[in-house]
Amino acid sequence: MATPASGRQLFLDGFRGLALIFMVLNHTGRWWLERPMGWPRYHLVYLTVTLAAPIFLFLAGFCMPLSFLNSTVTRGERYMSVAWKYARRGAQLVVAGWFLNLLVFPDEPLFAGGVLQTIGLSIIGLTALLPVMVSRVARWVLLAAALGIYTSFALAHPFLRTWVKAHPGLADVWLYDFPLWPWFAFALLGGVLGWVWTEGQRRGDDDRRYFEVMSLVGVLCLAAFLGLEVTIGTTPHFFSGRDLVLNQHWNPGAVTCLWILGILFSLLPATYYLMKVRRVQVPWLVVLGQNALMLYFVHQVIVLTFLRQRFGVLFHSWWPYVLANALLIAALVVLARAWPPFKRRALALVRSSATRGASAGAGART
């Protein structure tokens, strides 16, 4: 199901579309549901937060080797040219994250870190590491580094809880919502696994073997998670009672990481199997994934700024909430379909205006 002209793998777009839906449900659960809705509201918000951002970060890494090898090997582009393109893209995401803070969260620090900033910085970091992934030894070292990044954060967590109080400005930038440390570990893991998958594709290997192994690892992670839950005992707050809260924001504990990895390594193969092997057509999910960045912005403006803050939308029952979410996702699909042609026309208009302006300036000088 790759689009020949672009080399896109549509099941990856579909998986990204799922992540966007999880994020929409997380935000509507936070902003549209009353706290008296009880534990079901809490579990909806908590479960979706453990899925949405981790999938986005993992996919940011997983997709980079596919694009990188297509650029450098298939099309023969120089590494520095490709690296500049990725670095610019990463920097744009960081700036976009700051703009989102200004637009939707004006009461929060402008330069506070968030998902977009961490994805952008992860892209920049992975750009420097992609050339060494050609070595199998280096890939194992990078997997160990991903584990080390998370482990070091978990070990430093008690100290960091004190540090953020003493350095609130730096903490808002570097240790706020989904900070680079430890979340870069998920992007790095995705980068290494994406390289292995892309290499196999280029050799003509059968994808199914790769995703069968991944799904087996996913089942093992979920089994380990459930085993630890039974052994350690649940907390009143599901399994979040053992997570690493820092600067009033959530980071996953070790047990929760098993849950996240189990879902990642199960959902991605399932999406691959349905969309590429069984050829199930889910165009609306694909278009959500292909326009995820724009929709990431727009849905927060709609859900929080427009409906919650301006019109006071707040649900006290599940059925109206479910219906409202279905209508919202349908509206996002329509918007996602309209966005690419609108963007092309807008860019063409800007280029045309710039060309006319340059021609007029040249004429005036002559």
Q: Which residue has the higher pLDDT, 109 or 200?
A: 200
Q: Which residue has the higher pLDDT, 236 or 25?
A: 25
Whether the pLDDT of residue 2 is over 70: the answer is no
Residue 238: which pLDDT band, with cuts at 50, 70 and 90? very low
Q: What is the pLDDT of residues 131-172, one digit of tens each?
A: 999 999 999 999 999 999 999 999 999 999 999 999 999 999
Q: Work out the number of other CB atoms within 10 angstroms of the CB of residue 242.
A: 16
Residue 361: which pLDDT band, with cuts at 50, 70 and 90? low
Cα 67 from Cα 187, distance rounded (Å): 15
DSSP 103-158: HH-TTS-TT---HHHHHHHHHHHHHHHGGGGGSHHHHHHHHHHHHHHHHHHHHHHH
Cα 174 from Cα 215, distance rounded (Å): 33
Structure tokens at 326: 């279905």
Structure tokens at 244: 């690493």
On whether the CB atoms of residues 42 and 16 are closer than 8 A, the answer is no
Cα 363 from Cα 353, distance rounded (Å): 15
Q: What pLDDT score was predicted for residue 240?
A: 47
Q: What pLDDT score was predicted for residue 352?
A: 75
Query: Which of 146, 127, 139 is closest to 88 using CA atoms?
Result: 127
On whether the CB atoms of residues 118 and 179 are closer than 8 A, the answer is yes
Structure tokens at 363: 């004429």
Q: What is the pLDDT of residues 66-117, one digit of tens each?
A: 999 999 999 999 999 999 999 999 999 999 999 999 999 988 888 888 899 9
Q: What pLDDT score was predicted for residue 259?
A: 94
Structure tokens at 31: 């902003």
Q: What is the pLDDT of residues 257-296, one digit of tens each?
A: 999 999 999 999 999 999 999 999 999 999 999 999 999 9
CA within 13 Å, CB half, 242: 16
Structure tokens at 243: 């997570």
Largest CA distance in the chain: 83
Q: Which residue has the higher pLDDT, 8 or 181?
A: 181
Whether the pLDDT of residue 362 is over 70: the answer is no
Q: Which residue has the higher pLDDT, 238 or 189?
A: 189
Q: What is the pLDDT of residues 303-358, one digit of tens each?
A: 999 999 999 999 999 999 999 999 999 999 999 999 999 888 888 787 777 666 65
Q: Which residue has the higher pLDDT, 89 or 236?
A: 89
Q: Work out the number of other CB atoms within 10 angstroms of the CB of residue 251.
A: 23
Beta bridge partners of 235: 238
Whether the pLDDT of residue 364 is over 90: the answer is no
Average pLDDT over residues 235-240: 46
242: left (phi over 0), alpha (psi -120 to 50) or beta: alpha
Q: Which residue has the higher pLDDT, 88 or 36?
A: 88
Cα 144 from Cα 188, distance rounded (Å): 10
Cα 53 from Cα 41, distance rounded (Å): 19
Q: What pLDDT score was predicted for residue 109?
A: 85
For CA atoms 317, 320, 323, 329, the dihedral sign is: negative
Residue 235: which pLDDT band, with cuts at 50, 70 and 90? low
Q: Which residues contact 120 (CB under 8 A, 6 or more apart)?
A: 89, 90, 91, 92, 93, 94, 96, 97
Show me where the domains of the chain are located. 2-361
Structure tokens at 1: 């199901």
Average pLDDT over residues 235-242: 51
- Provide the total of helices (H) and of strands (E) in the chain, helices listed first: 13, 2
Whether the pLDDT of residue 217 is over 60: the answer is yes
Q: Work out the number of other CB atoms within 10 angstroms of the CB of residue 108.
A: 14
Q: Global pTM?
A: 0.91
Q: What is the pLDDT of residues 143-152, one digit of tens each?
A: 999 999 999 9
Cα 169 from Cα 118, distance rounded (Å): 17
